[in-house]
Structure 1
Amino acid sequence: MKTFARALCGAVSMIAVTAAAPALAEPKAEVLHYWTSGGEAKAVQALQEAFAARGGEWVDAPVAGGGGDAQAAVLRARVLAGDPPAAVQIKGPNIQEWAEAGALGDLTAVATAQDWDKVLPEAIQNIVKYEGKYVAVPVNVHRVDWIWANPEVLAKVGAEVPTTWEEFNETADKLQAAGIIPLAHGGQPWQDATVFETVVLGIGGTDFYRKALVELDMDALGSDTMIAVFDQMRKMRGYVDPDFPGRDWNLATAMVMRGEAAMQIMGDWAKGEFAAAGKVPGVDYVCASTPSDNGYLLNSDSFAMFNVSGDDNVEGQAVLAELILGTEFQETFNLFKGSIPARTDVPRAEFDDCAIKSMDDMVAAAEGGTLLGSMAHEIAQAGAVRGAFIDVATAHFNSDMSSQDAVDQLVKAIKLAQ
C-alpha cells in the first residue's frame, strides 16, 4: 500500500491547504463511504442533515461492499485520476499510509479549537494522528467481538448465550440436532476473518492475539495454539448453512432476527440493523462478548480529509470535521450505527444496555491493557499483511485444509507479506 499510495499521490497536484483554513465560500464536500445498509444509511443521513443545516452541499459517493475493500479500489482510482474526494471513510494503518504519502490535509486548527486531545482516548488519537497532527476525524468505536443471539431460538434447546468456546460448540450441536442453524454467517473473506480473530482472541487470549495478529511473532503464528484456533474454525464451518457463500453480513443478521439462525458473530454495527427493524435489546435479541479473557477488539471508523482545491471544498472539510466530533452528532450517529462515541464525554442516557456494556468494557480493557485493534477490520493490520491473514483464514474455512496446513500457510504468507 505504501509504495502504491506514493505513486498515486505523485499523480495528483498537491495543494497546500488545510481543512481548517478560513474560507468565504459555501461549504461543499464529496463524501466517499461504504455505509449502505439500513442502520448505516440512517447514520449517514444524520450527518448529511447536520451538514446541510450548516449550509453545506453534500455530494454522496457510496460504495457497497460492507468491509470497505471495494471502496479502497475506488479511492485509489480517484487519487490516480487526480480527483480525490474531500472526505473518505478510512481507518487504521491506511490513514497513516495515506498521510505518509502526502495525500491528507491538516486538521490541527479544528482539533485545537475543539480540544480533541481532552476528549479522545489515546488509543483513538494514535489512529487518527500522523506525526502529531490530526489528519482524520474518528466517528465512533465499534467492538468486533460480539455474539448476537435470538433468545427465543436458544430457549428451544434450553440454552443461553455461550460464555466459553466449549459451551458454544455444545450449544451449536444441540441447535443442529433440533434442525436450527447455529451460526448465521456470510461467506465473504472479511466475514471469515472476523470470526477467525474472535477465535484467536478466545482460544489464545489477549497476549497471544497481540503476539500473533499485531506483532506478527512467527513462533505464535506457527504454534500449537494457532492449530487449536483452526481446529475451532473447522467446527465453526460446520455450524453454518449451505447457502452462506456470498451472503452480505446484514442478511445474516436478518436470519437471527427472523429466528432462522440462533447466533451471529459480528461487530456492533449489527445492532444498527436490529434497531432499524424496531427490535429491542434484551427482549428480541441478546448481545454478549465472544468468549475471551476480557479482551476487546477495537474497530473505529474515521473520515480522512484529502488534499483538495477550492475554498468551498476546504470549508466543507472544516465544517465536517467540527460536526463529526461534536457531542450532538456523536450521540445521534452512534445511536443509529450501533457503535459508541469516540469521545468520552457524550451523555449515556439514550444508549441501550449493549452500548453501555461496550463503553464500560472498553474503559476496563484500556486500563487493563487488553484493548486491541482488529486485524480483520484494518486497525491492527492493513494492506498485504491483512490480506495474507484473510486469504489463509478463508481458504481454510472454505475447504478441507487441515489445521496444520493452515498454520504452515499462514506463517509463509505473513513472512512474504511483510
Structure 2
Amino acid sequence: MYQAYKLALAAACLAASAAQAQVKPTAEVIHWWTSGGESAAVRQIAQAYRNAGGVWIDTAIAGGDQSRAVTINRIVGGNPPTAAQFNTSKQFLDVIEQDMLNNVDDVARKENWDKLLPEPIIKVIKVDGHYYAVPLNIHMQAWIWYSKAAFKKAGIAKEPATVDELFAALDKLKAAGIVPLAHGGQSWQETILFSALLSNIGGKDLYLKVLRDRDQRAIGSAPFQKVLAAFKRMRGYVDAGAPGRNWNDATAMLINGKAGVQVMGDWVKGEFTAARQLPDQHYGCIAGFGPASPYLIQGDVFVFPKTSNPKAVQAQKLLASVVVAPATQLSFSQHKGSIPVRSDVDASKADACARKGIAIMKDRSRHVGVSEVYLTPDQNGALQDVLTAYWNSARMTPEQAQKRIASALRN
C-alpha cells in the first residue's frame, strides 16, 4: 500500500511538473550564431530567457542567407518560429510589407527608442511609424585588427594611423614572410573591405553620396576612383588560400600569428575572446583613422513572426523584454564582440576595444549605416557582384569598376 502511494505521489509530481512546463513561455529562436564566439554569446540570451521563466528552443542554422531563407519559408508555410535573427538592414523589409511580423511598439515606447537608438538603426527597424525588430547590439563593420606578435616579428613598432601607414605595415609583414592580410574571399567580406577603404579614404561625405544617395557624379569622381585603386591594391596582400575562406578562419590566422591584419566587423573579437586573447596584449583594434572617421553601424535584431496565439505572443514579449535588459545586452556583447545598443550600460565592464566603440557612439556625427542599411538586398547584391568581379579580375581597371558600380546603383 505504501509503495503504491509513493508511486502515485511520484506520478502526480511528474504530471504537475509537465503541466507547469506547458504553461511556461516557450520560444523557438532561429539564428546563425554557430562559431565559437557566437555560440557563447547566444547562450547568454538563452540563459537569461530561462532565468526569466521561459523555455528556450535553439534552432541554429549556419550561414545568414540560409538561416533567413528558412525563417521566411517557415513563416510562409504557416509554421513560424517564435523569433528569428536578422541583421540591422533592409533584409526583413519585404516581410514587414507583407504583414508577416508582429510589431514591438510597446517595448519601444517603454525603452524610449526614438531618443535612445542611433538614427541608422531606427531607419531600418521602424517602418510606417511602427517598430518591427528588437536590436540586440551594435556592430561596427570596418574595424582593422592586427596581431601584436606578427607586428613585432615584422618590426612594426607603431600602430598605423593613416591608410598610407597601413599599406606600409602590410609591406613590412609581406617582407617578413607573414601573410599581410587575412581575408576570406567571399563577396560580403570583400564588400566590408571596400566599405572600410571608402569610409577611411573618402570620409563620411563620399561614403554617403555613394551608398546612401547613389550619386552618379560621386561614383564617377576621381576620389572614388582612388578608393577603388586602394581596394584593388589590397588584393596583393592576401594568400592563395583566401578564396572561399570563412571570416572566423581568417581571424584564426591572426590568433596563431600566421597573418598580420584583418579588416572585419567587431564580431571577430568573440573569436579572440574564445581563444583567451586580450586586446592591447595579443591584438590591436583600430576603429578608423582620425577622429572624424565614420563608424559603420550594423548589428543583430530579433524579429517576431505574426501570430495571434496568446502563448506565442507571451513568449515573444518575454523574449523582447529579456533582450533589451542592460545585463543581457552587456553579457551578449562581451561574448559577441559588439557593444550594447543601450547607452546606459556600465562601460567599465567592457574590454578596451568595446570601450573605444562606446566612446565613438557618443558622437552622433560619426554614425553611418553599412551598405545594407541604405541599399535594398538587390542593390547590395549587385554592388557585391561588381566588387567581387573587380577583386578577382587582373584586367578590370578602376575606371571600368566605376562604370559597373554606377550601373548597379542606378536603379
State TM-score, norm by structure 1: 0.88
Counterpart CA distance in 2 for 1:337 and 1:347 is 17
* Residue in 2 that maps onto 1:141: 138
CA apart distance, 1:25? 4.3
SS at match of 2:347: coil
Aligned AA (1:392)? V
Question: Counterpart of 1:296 in structure 2: which amino acid?
Answer: Y
Q: Find the residue that maps to 1:186 and give its secondary structure.
A: coil
Q: What per-residue deviation string (whole Å, max 9, x for no partner) do you get for residues 118-173 of structure 1?
A: 54344433332222222110100111121111112112232233222211212111
Could you tell me which amino acid in structure 1 is paired with residue 388 of structure 2? T
Q: Call closer, same or farther: CA 1:226–1:69 in 2, change over 3 Å.
A: farther
Gap change, CA 1:257 and 1:87, over 3 Å in 2: same
Partner of 2:101: 104
- Indicate if the aligned counterparts of 1:25 and 1:315 stay in contact, CA closer than 8 A: no
Q: 1:117 Cα shift?
A: 4.2
Structure of larger gyration radius: 2
Deviates more, 1:338-347 or 1:222-231: 222-231
For structure 2, list consecutive stretches of 5 or more residues without a partner in the other structure: 1-21
Q: How does 1:201-280 map to 2 (within 5 A)?
A: 201-280=199-278
1:398 matched to 2:392? The reply is yes
Contact 1:99 1:135 in 2 (8 A): yes
The question of whether the paired residues in 2 share the 8 Å contact of 1:26 and 1:315 is answered with no
Q: Shift of residue 194 of structure 1? A: 0.4
Structure 2: distance between partners of 1:119 and 1:414: 32
Please name the residue that 2:79 is paired with.
83
User: In structure 2, what is the equivalent of residue 384 of structure 1?
Assistant: 378
Does the 8 Å contact 2:347/2:358 carry over to 1?
A: no
3-state secondary structure, aligned to 2:230: helix
Q: Is the CA contact 2:201–2:227 (under 8 Å) kept in the aligned structure 1?
A: yes
Mapped contact 2:35–2:248 kept (Cα < 8 A): yes
| Cα distance, 1:195 vs structure 2 | 0.2
2:320 is aligned with what amino acid? A
Matched, 1:346 2:340: no
Distance 1:86 1:97 in 2: 18
2:288 and 2:295 in contact (8 A); partners too:
no
Cα pair distance change 1:246/1:50, threshold 3 Å: same
Name the SS of the counterpart of 1:410 in structure 2: helix
Aligned partners of 1:149 and 1:287 also within 8 Å? yes
In the other structure, the counterpart of 1:330 is 329
Structure 2 partner of 1:409: 404
Deviation per CA, 1:207-238: give whole Å up to 9, x if none: 00000011111111222222212211111111
Q: What is the SS of the residue equivalent to 1:263?
A: strand
Contact 2:121 2:298 in 1 (8 A): no
Q: CA RMSD in A?
A: 1.7
> 1:30–1:59: 8 Å Cα contact kept in structure 2?
yes
> Paired residue for 2:19?
none
Aligned equivalent of 2:127: 130
Structure 2 counterpart of 1:78, which letter?
R
Aligned-pair CA distance for 1:407: 1.1
Paired with 1:116 and 1:147, the residues of 2 have a C-alpha distance of 30
Matched residue type, 1:409: R
Q: CA deviation at 1:359?
A: 0.7
Say if 1:138 and 1:342, in contact at 8 Å, map to a contact too: yes
* Alpha-carbon distance in 2 for matches of 1:245, 1:329: 36
Matched-pair identity in %: 40
Alpha-carbon contact 2:104-2:131 (below 8 Å) kept: yes
> Map of 1:12-91 to 2, 5 A cutoff?
25-65=23-63, 68-90=64-86, 91=88
Equivalent position amino acid for 1:379 in 2: V
Structure 2 Cα separation of the partners of residues 112 and 374 of structure 1: 26
Question: Residue type matched to 1:81 in 2?
Answer: G
Question: Which of residues 190, 196, 199 in structure 2 aligns to 1:198?
Answer: 196
- Secondary structure at the aligned position of 1:238 is classed as helix
- Residue 358 of structure 1 corresponds to 357
The separation in 1 between residues aligned to 2:285 and 2:407, in whole angstroms, is 36
| Map of 1:299 onto structure 2 | 298
Q: 3-state SS of the aligned residue for 1:156?
A: helix
Q: Does the 8 Å contact 2:155/2:172 carry over to 1?
A: no
Runs of 5+ consecutive residues of structure 1 not aligned to the other structure: 1-23
Q: Distance in 1 between matches of 2:28 and 2:335?
A: 22
Displacement of 1:114 = 4.2
DSSP-derived class of the 2:327 partner: helix
Task: Check whether the contact 2:163–2:289 (CA below 8 A) recurs between aligned residues.
Answer: yes
What letter corresponds to residue 409 of structure 2 in structure 1? I
Taking the aligned partners of 2:36 and 2:191, their CA distance within structure 1 comes to: 23
Q: SS state of the match for residue 379, structure 1?
A: helix
Q: Are the structure 2 counterparts of residues 307 and 150 from structure 1 closer, same or farther at C-alpha, using a change threshold of 3 Å?
A: same
Structure 2 match to 1:18: none
How far residue 370 of structure 1 moved from its aligned partner, in angstroms, is 2.8
Structure-2 separation of matches of 1:381 and 1:71:
21
Partner SS, residue 247 of structure 1:
coil
Measure the CA separation in 2 of the matches of 1:205 and 1:45: 37
**AA aligned opposite 1:410:** I
Q: TM-score, normalised by structure 2?
A: 0.90
Q: Is the 2:200–2:293 contact (alpha carbons within 8 Å) kept by the matching residues of 1?
A: no
CA separation of 1:117/1:411 partners in 2, compared to 1, >3 Å: closer, same or farther? closer
The match for 1:187 among 164, 185, 188 is: 185
Alpha-carbon deviations, 1:18-64, whole Å to 9, x = none?
xxxxxx94212221111111111111111111112223222222221
Shift of 1:363: 1.4
